[in-house]
A and B are shown apart, each in its own frame.
Chain A
Amino acid sequence: MSNPSTERILNGEHSYLTIDGRIGGVVLDQRKHPLPWYVTFAIGFGLLQVMMLAFTWLLYKGVGIWGINIPVGWGFAIINFVWWIGIGHAGTLISAILLLMRQLWRNSINRFAEAMTLFAVMCAGLFPLLHTGRPWVAYWLFPYPSVLGVWPQFRSPLVWDVFAVSTYMTVSALFWYIGLIPDFATMRDKARNRLAQIVFGILSMGWRGSAGHWFRYETAYLILAGLSTPLVLSVHSIVSFDFAVSIIPGWHTTIFPPYFVAGAIYAGFAMVLILAIPIRAWYGLKDFITMRHLDWMAKFMLGTGLVVFYGYLMEAFYAWYSGNKYEQYMMMNRWVGPYAPLYWALIVCNGITPQFLWSPKVRRNLAMLFTISVVVSIGMWLERFMIVVESLHRDFLPSSWGMYAGTIWDWATFIGTIGFFTFNMFLFIRFVPMINMFEMKDLLHKITGRVPAQAITQRAHEAAELAEERA
């Protein structure tokens, strides 16, 4: 294909029916699933078992099975939490912010980007709960009238987290489901299998696609998008407060909120690419997820990547500029301390690698794009490691400095959640239309529509006036 940026966002000769067929077919015809689906799903399922095992052992023994200690009270659990939450952000960004910006190219990727958000947030949500010493009383973080007469302590960023993450989860789920209703209706009507009819019938809530339905639907959807946009920004800002609010050198910085949000979108787009590139191939969706889409996403990664890199530079600058001996030592420690290799690996992954995306050739080369996305995901995990561990392990009093290393259980938990994510993601692919069909049809109509919309509206108004005169 020629230069992706001039390429169309919908390829091939498509009618409404072919769109439905191609996308809905994946779900309705359960027989023709590509082999890769089974392989990946099996792997995901296996890793899910690892996660279950790790969590069972954790609940049985206590957080001591992890590598955490004093001074490093937070380890993998919080690193993974931030990492997953970050990944989630791209979904909401694509579906909400791009919608508000009337970016037509979002239509073909928003559905599974949102699914990705949901599953990533599920993974993330596990950690704050299970990293507590006594998970069975973690419900104390919710405000409820208890016989103790005591309440959560609302100055703590952890309580903010509880609210932010649960709200984010709920709103994303609603947003996702609302987006699905008309497609469920389509599935209901396409389905020949009675069971499918009933299931999709229930899910579609008897959607009939009447003009009134669509009108209210679009209003609500648009406003939801408007709400999700500040929400998604707030969530990662609040996550960053977990650190920024404290006094630990390397945590106590005002740059964290923007820097975290950028990082989140960065990681998120990387994950969308990691998912999109193979799936579009396996399910022959290249017409819908075109090179143009991938190109756009690559550019987004480049942009946010630069913001993140700027964040790293600023951290160093402030450390020097603050004149604060603890901050300065913290920075030196990152550069030459025991964890220096990780720091430099991070700079390579998140700072250097994305620069390749300046070249259109690279952006067009799927293998490269995929690799870069993987590297970036690793880099973002390293970033969280740098922030959480390297700041804690050497703070104020040399006497209480320590080292940290994840144990096998730390790794099992991390890998396990990746399995959990994959497991969910592939169930979704198989049982839910992974691309928004009605929006694609809308898109097709917008591209091919004979009569410009204004004219139609114009005619309608005249009609309405005439009708009133009559009455």
Chain B
Amino acid sequence: MSSKNDTNITQRDVLQRLKDRLAGRKGPEYWRSLEELAGSPEFQRFVEDEFPNRSSLLEAMKMDRRSFLTLMGSSIALAGLAGCRFLPAEKIVPYVQAPEDLIPGVPVYYATAAVILGYGVGILVESHEGRPTKIEGNPGHPASLGSTDALVQATLLDLYDPERSQNVSKKGQAATWDAFFAEARKTLASLPAGGEGLRILTGTVTSPTLAAQISEVLRKYPAARWHQYEPAADHNARAGAVAAFGKPVQAIYHLDKAARVLTLDADFLGQPPSNIRYARDFAERRRVRRGATEMNRLYAVESTPGITGAMADHRWALRPGEIEAIARAIAAGIGVRMGADAHQATYPWVDAVARDLAAHHGASVVIPGAGQPPAVHALAYAMNQALGAVGSTVRFVEPVEATPVDHLASLKELVADMRAHRVRALLILGGNPVYTAPADLEFADALASVPFSVHLGRYDDETAATCLWHLAESHYLEAWSDVRAFDGTASIVQPLIQPLYSSRSAHEVLAGLLGDPIPGLEIVKNHWRAGFAGPDARFEDAWRKWLNDGVIPGTAAKPVTVPDAKVPAPTPVVADGYDVIFRPDPNLVDGTFANNAWLMELPRPLTKLTWDNAALMSPAMAVRLGLATREKAYVANNQVVELSYKGRKLKAPLFILPGHADNCVTLHLGWGRTRGGSVCAGKGVNAYSLQTSDAPDYGSGLQIAPTQDRYELVSTHYHSAIDMEGRHPVLWRTFDEYQRSGYAPVAGDEESTPSESMFRTPPEYANYDGYAWGMSIDLNVCIGCNACVVACQAENNIPVVGKDQVSRGREMYWIRIDRYYQGTTEADLENPVTFFEPVPCMQCELAPCEPVCPVGATTHSHEGLNQMVYNRCVGTRYCSNNCPYKVRRFNFYKFSAGQPNNAPGNYDNPTYKLMANPNVTVRGRGVMEKCTYCVQRINEARIKAKEQNRTIRDGEIQTACQQVCPTKAITFGNIHDAGAEVSRQKQEPAKFVLLGDLNTRPRTTYLAKFRNPNPEIGTEKSLE
């Protein structure tokens, strides 16, 4: 029992001793042992160091009673205890010494950066007594501007994932960090001079510190080599730049300056890490208000339908191989000197597009897609130069990557060397190459020939299984690091919580190997101190400021001037049989997020598929192949097809996707995992097993054979709603019509609310002079990215229910994004106009759900909220039946406890308990739930305002969905305040009410969708 005054134990020793005690323990057992440990003096002192946020783990385990009970108790309480009866006697445990700036019950926010595919997105993390519970965007960060996306939101779940690898293991046997470092140092020492045979494999590295550490390794072992492979990175852009300018420069687009945008198969609204910023900038030019005179126009050429194409004013679905030809034709049209092989326009609209782009010199931009060959990128660069875009809508900057190399080449080289037994020690820092490497490289068996292979990763995945050593990697919320955003801006990644398990960051591992094992904080801090111009005193201030702001000023990538882009010779179009297209999954990307239940269940933006990927193809193609009938072409059937490509075969369920390019099949990567957690293992089919290194993005020569197998895919849109069933859930106009009509109201009689109601609302409510909450959703800038869905899930403790339950129509999302197609003709079927419509609870003033509740569990508040009281609900489901919007969700089982079949990502698991928002009740079995307009945030703001004797300011309350929205499509506020943004939007002629004719008087209203088609290409009439 060490006494208070022995002070010569440094914090690290303490950590080390604890870690040693915990070494080799897993999962729940580990938790218990921590609980036992929590009281021990060294641990006590250890958690009371200068960073209060780091004491969180201990509090979570012992201190924070109230918040904890909110979670543990509520399920019991909701299991039918009315009032305060029969609650178990419980302990209330204070601190021994309270951390300085921590007020129990009051959340604290810390700035840090989320790491997505190696790039940073600035975030603010809400922490309750040291438990990170919610991620918000950092308004000061260029890649975020206060918003985030589904991926960033979901990284919170990753942190608490109980299936993360929790320790060091050798050949699957539990080991210790010490054992690893000992063996590693021995191995390194045993290498021939210069570290011959030492290899490091990483993904994209933008972290200055990590880059420095790696180069230090390379300095120490000159013969060692560093390889990089990031499957979902923008390889072609790099190659394209090299082709066009002879050096790897990076293009950054400024869509807020662009009046005309042409994407060549580019999903700039959906592709991380720049999607959040691009979406915001794009939306800025697209909002249409009364009197608006301009609106940007988006042309999209794409093969796999994506949210970018869905937003386009003109969209053409083409085989990926045909797009270069289009690019050349348009390039020619806007005056790029093409030399001899100028391609002739193959489509009537090409010239119109070219003219339109050219007409907006300096205000138009062409964006090449990640999936397009370098040539297309080079062409795009050339077009942008010709359009005078460079400097306005496009900037060329130094690459943000520490060392921009051709990843695929780098990987191939590594594999070759491994086969030739030239690799003695391989250090894989992050990533899962065994799974993500193209099939033809057969990475796994090459790796098997490496005597000393180490894998540092968050999961015990395919690579971990193949390597000699597996090291648990820390989540970015538990380890110090730094990272650069897509535009180069650097941020310090500061942890909010002690590592939940015995894990370490890449920094700590490298430092350990370099024989100088210091904690991550010091590694990162030292690196920046070294680079800091000025005295240490000022550094400390700067450092504190960086941590506080979440960005390091002046670190954005430097602009570079580029010569005129060389236009490469056309690549011959090979089109035998069908094309196969490999695309990162919209939610799982390359598989990095595969074990994240939130993202697994989250319906894909267009297919609305959950828990599976599929072979996507166009209706016409399915009909031609006899896989579907013309009448039912758009209804998902359970066919399984066998895909044969370059001698490899893969069976995949078929999903018919309107708008998919003809004669090609899309497979989303990231699925069909064999290891790496129960959430991802065995879900979907592995597209990598068809991918080859010579054509990683798409290739021709695919054969498709129907099989007798059937497989049930689950899509949350039971109805693919190809037309709107004679209904008008979404109203839209063309921008031109709207202007010419003099901004006439969009909603006709049929859609608008009757002025009369049968009953008089009690004056106490009708004439209430306090706040009146309302919401407005601008469909014109909603890109259907799902960020709001996940944000809501994180904020409101919404459980995951699993594929089986989703297939029964029991998903729990409080806000859903409806996807509608317009048009019924076959042409429409091949390329429909797509609409997205987020639907939360409408908070009707004359709510149909309320009068039918027998126990008054759902009633109206004076502020106009449709209150749902879980603890009063008996679960008759009558309210849901009577809700015309079907936004109510019911706990058919105790979903919060993972029932019926241990659905992951729920709230009674010890780790997930830490994640839950203590201000929102965790719902038990048999109760109804629904969107509350984030009433916990409203109440918090109201209390704060009252204490300061003021009224709540406009914008002070942000609902979770509003806060996360990259395009700021959602506005919330007090509609009694005429000056409030939401009130202004409700005055817009574009305002309409969903199912207004039912006279439910919703507080949530919409702004109509506008489309801005090019009159030269064929004028469309909007739905009348």
Distance (whole angstroms) from the CB of A239 to the closest CB of chain B = 13
Q: Return the CB mask of A29-73 against B: 1 if under 8 Å, else 0.
A: 000000000000000000000000000000001111001111111
Q: Mark A128-168, 1 if CB is under 8 A from B, else 0.
A: 00011110111011000011101111011111001000000
One of A118-126, A400-408, A420-428 at the interface: A400-408
Chain A residue at minimum C-beta to C-beta distance from B818: A399
Distance, CA A400 to CA B839, complexed state (A): 11
> Could you say which residues of chain B place their CB within 8 Å of the CB of A1?
none
Q: Is A195 an interface residue (CB 8 A)?
A: no
CB < 8 Å neighbour of B848 from A71, A246, A397: A246
- Cross-chain contact A152 with B856 (CB below 8 angstroms): yes
Assess whether B877 is in contact with A157, with CB atoms less than 8 Å apart: no
Q: Please report the C-alpha to C-alpha distance between residue A131 and residue B890 in the assembled complex, in whole angstroms.
A: 13
| Chain B nearest CB, measured from A336 CB (Å) | 13
A396 within 8 A of B: yes
Chain A, Cβ-Cβ closest to B891: A133
Distance in angstroms between the alpha carbons of A368 and B630 in the assembled complex: 47
Q: Name the one of B724, B727, B816, B874 contacting A138, with C-beta atoms under 8 angstroms.
A: B874
Q: Which 4 A-B pairs rank lowest in CB-CB distance, beginning with the nearest? A: A133-B875, A133-B926, A73-B877, A64-B892
Task: Name the residue of chain B whose CB is nearest to the CB of A405.
Answer: B808
- B residues 900-939 in Cβ contact with A at 8 Å: 900, 925-928
Q: Assuming the A-B contacts A147-B83, A397-B729, are A158 and B854 also in contact, with contact meaning beta carbons closer than 8 angstroms in the complex?
A: yes
Residues of A within 8 A of B818 (CB): 397, 399-400
Asked if B80 CB lies within 8 Å of chain A CBs, one says yes
- Of all chain A residues, which has the CB nearest B885? A397
CB of A334 to closest CB in B, whole Å: 15
For this complex, 13 residue pairs linking A to B, each with C-beta atoms less than 8 Å apart, are: A62-B926, A64-B805, A64-B892, A69-B808, A134-B80, A140-B82, A141-B855, A158-B876, A397-B727, A397-B818, A397-B995, A399-B721, A403-B809
Main secondary structure of the interface of A (DSSP, over half): loop
Is A247 an interface position by the 8 A CB rule?
A: yes
Contact A157 B925 (CB under 8 A): no
Contact A133 B888 (CB under 8 A): no
Which residues of B lie under 8 Å from residue A152 when comparing CB positions? 854-856
- A64 vs B851: C-alpha distance when bound (angstroms): 25
Contacts known (A399-B729, A399-B819); A133 close to B719, Cβ less than 8 A: no
Contact A132 B890 (CB under 8 A): no
For residue B889, CB closer than 8 A to chain A, the reply is: yes
A395, CB-defined interface residue at 8 Å: yes
Once bound together, how far apart are the Cα atoms of A402 and B890, in whole Å? 15
Residues B880 and A70 in contact, CB atoms below 8 Å apart: yes
Judge whether A449 is part of the interface by a CB distance below 8 angstroms: no
Check: B886 CB closer than 8 A to any chain A CB. Answer: yes
Q: Are A133 and B927 in contact (CB under 8 A)?
A: yes
Residue of A nearest to B805 (CB): A64
Judge whether B213 is part of the interface by a CB distance below 8 angstroms: no
Asked if B884 CB lies within 8 Å of chain A CBs, one says yes
Known A69-B810, A141-B855, A153-B855; judge A134-B880 contact (CB<8 A): no
Closest to B884 in A: A396
Asked if A70 and B809 make an inter-chain contact with CB atoms under 8 angstroms apart, the answer reads: yes
B722's nearest neighbour on chain A, judged by CB, is A398
The interface residues of chain A lying within 8 Å CB-to-CB of B899 are: 61-62, 64
Given known A-B contacts A73-B877, A73-B878, A152-B854, A403 and B725 have beta carbons under 8 A apart: no
Residues of A within 8 A of B995 (CB): 396-397
Check if A325 is an interface residue, CB within 8 A of chain B: yes
> Interface 1/0s, chain A 250-289, versus B by CB < 8 A?
0000000000000000000000000000000000000000
Instruction: Number of B interface residues at 8 Å Cβ cutoff, please give it.
Output: 60
Once A136-B80, A138-B874, A146-B82 are accepted as A-B contacts, the answer to whether A73 and B881 lie under 8 Å apart by CB is yes
- B893: CB under 8 A from chain A? yes
A400 CA to B805 CA, complexed, in Å: 15
- In the complex where A137-B874, A153-B856, A248-B882 touch, is A70 in contact with B888 (Cβ < 8 A)? yes
Interface flag for A375 (CB, 8 Å): no
Q: Are B882 and A246 in contact (CB under 8 A)?
A: yes
Cβ contacts under 8 Å, A291 to chain B: none
B872 contacts the other chain (Cβ, under 8 Å)? yes
A398–B854 contact, CB under 8 A?
Answer: no
Residues of B within 8 A of A146 (CB): 82-83
B894: interface (CB < 8 Å): yes
Interface residues of chain A, those whose CB is within 8 Å of chain B, are: 61-64, 67-74, 131-134, 136-138, 140-141, 146-148, 150-153, 155-159, 162, 242, 245-248, 325, 329, 392, 395-403
User: A132: which of B719, B882, B926 is its contact (CB, 8 Å)?
Assistant: B926
B852 within 8 A of A: yes
Interface residues of B in 148-164 (CB under 8 A from A): none
Contact B851 A247 (CB under 8 A): no
Please, what's the 1-or-0 string for B245-283, where 1 marks a CB less than 8 Å from any CB in chain A? 000000000000000000000000000000000000000
**Contact between A73 and B854 (Cβ–Cβ < 8 Å)?**
no
- Distance in angstroms between the alpha carbons of A132 and B890 in the assembled complex: 11
Question: A69-B810, A73-B877, A398-B719 are known contacts. Are A133 and B882 too (CB-CB below 8 A)?
Answer: no
| Bound CA–CA A155/B889 (angstroms) | 22
Q: Which residues of B contact A155 (CB under 8 A)?
A: 851-852
Main secondary structure of the interface of B (DSSP, over half): loop
Given contacts A147-B82, A247-B848, A248-B881, 5 further A-B contacts (CB under 8 A): A61-B900, A70-B880, A134-B925, A245-B851, A392-B881
Residues on A with beta carbons closer than 8 Å to the beta carbon of B724: 398
> How far, in angstroms, from A69 to B809 measured CA to CA in the complex?
6
Q: How far is the CA of A152 from the CA of B875 in the complex (A)?
A: 14
- Chain A residues with CB under 8 Å of B719's CB are 398-399, 401
User: Which of B729, B808, B810, B893 has the most chain A CB atoms closer than 10 A to its own CB?
Assistant: B808
A159 to B876, CA, bound (A): 11
Contact of A134 among B83, B874, B889, B998 (CB under 8 A): B874
A136–B925 alpha-carbon span in the complex (Å): 12
Q: Kindly state whether residue B820 has any CB partner on chain A within 8 Å.
A: yes
Chain A residue numbers with a CB within 8 Å of B890 are 70, 73, 133
Binary contact track B790-820/A, C-beta < 8 Å → 1, others 0:
0000000000000001001110000010111
Cα separation A44 to B810 with both chains bound (whole Å):
35
Query: Given the complex, which residues of A lie within 8 Å of B878, measured CB to CB?
Result: 73-74, 156, 158, 242, 246
Contact check, B886 vs A71: say whether CB atoms are below 8 A apart: yes
Asked if B727 and A398 sit within 8 Å, CB to CB, the answer is yes
B contact residues around A140 at 8 Å (CB): 82, 854-855, 872, 874
Residue on A nearest B890 in the bound complex, by CB: A70
Query: CB distance B717 to A68 under 8 Å?
Result: no
Within 8 A of A (CB), among B921-976: 925-928
Q: Which residues of A contact B727 (CB under 8 A)?
A: 325, 396-398
With an 8 A cutoff between CB atoms, is B718 at the interface?
A: yes
Residue from B83, B877, B881, B884 within 8 A of A397 (CB atoms) = B884
Cβ-closest chain A residue relative to B728 = A325
Task: Give min CB distance, B1005 to chain A, whole Å.
Answer: 16
Knowing A62-B925, A152-B854, A399-B819 touch, does A132 contact B876 (C-beta < 8 A)?
Answer: yes
What CA separation (Å) do A67 and B899 show in the bound complex?
16
| Residue of A138, A329, A396 with highest tally of chain B CB at under 10 A | A396
Closest Cβ–Cβ distance, residue A59 to chain B (whole Å): 10
Shortest CB-to-CB span from B879 to chain A, Å, is 9
Minimum CB–CB distance from A148 to chain B (whole Å) comes to 6
Contact partners of B839 in chain A: CB under 8 A: 397, 399
Instruction: Say how far B759's CB is from chain A's closest CB, in angstroms.
Output: 11
Q: Which chain A residues lie closer than 8 Å to B762 at the CB level?
A: none
Query: For residue B82, which residues in chain A have a CB less than 8 angstroms away from its CB?
Result: 137, 140, 146-148
Min CB distance A264 to B, Å, is: 21
B contact residues around A158 at 8 Å (CB): 852, 854, 876, 878
Interface string of B816-832 (1 = CB under 8 A from A): 10111000000000000
Q: Does B853 contact A (CB under 8 A)?
A: yes
Bound: A72/B718 CA distance, A: 13
Most B C-beta atoms less than 10 A away, residue of A62, A71, A72: A62
Give Cα distance in the complex from A131 to B899, angstroms. Answer: 19
Q: How far is the CA of A152 from the CA of B857 in the complex (A)?
A: 9
Q: A132-B876, A141-B874, A396-B995 are in contact. Are A70 and B886 (CB under 8 A)?
A: yes
